[in-house]
Amino acid sequence: MTRLTFYYKPGCWLCDAAEEMLNGLIEKYKIEVNKIDITSNDALYELYRFDIPVFEFKDGTTLYGRIRKKDLLKKLEENKE
């Protein structure tokens, strides 16, 4: 199992593409996703508005912006529980 937090904003096409890529890997890699809309919190919006989408892993590392599948797969392997 791998846990990650997915920061996104509704209407963001990069976020939609990242979520679609992630959804294709959820079962195979047993991923648990905590999905957070940054527009629901002013502090999160200020922190991530220029970086979304953001995947944050348990080790504190992140992937953001145009996320490549090979980078995501590497992070999933590194953060397996």
How confident is the model over 21-65, as pLDDT tens digits?
A: 999 999 989 999 999 999 999 999 999 999 999 999 999 999 999
Report d(CA 66, CA 58) in Å as an integer: 20
Domain total in the chain: 1
CATH classification at residue 33: 3.40.30.10
Q: What is the pLDDT of residue 81?
A: 85
pTM for this model (two decimals): 0.93
The secondary structure element, H or E, covering residue 32 is strand 31-37
Range of the domain at 72: 2-78
Q: Summarize the confidence of residues 66-73 as an average pLDDT.
A: 96
Query: Which residues, at least 6 apart from 7, have a Cβ–Cβ distance to it below 8 Å?
Result: 36, 38, 44, 48, 52, 53, 54, 55, 56
Q: What is the pLDDT of residue 41?
A: 96
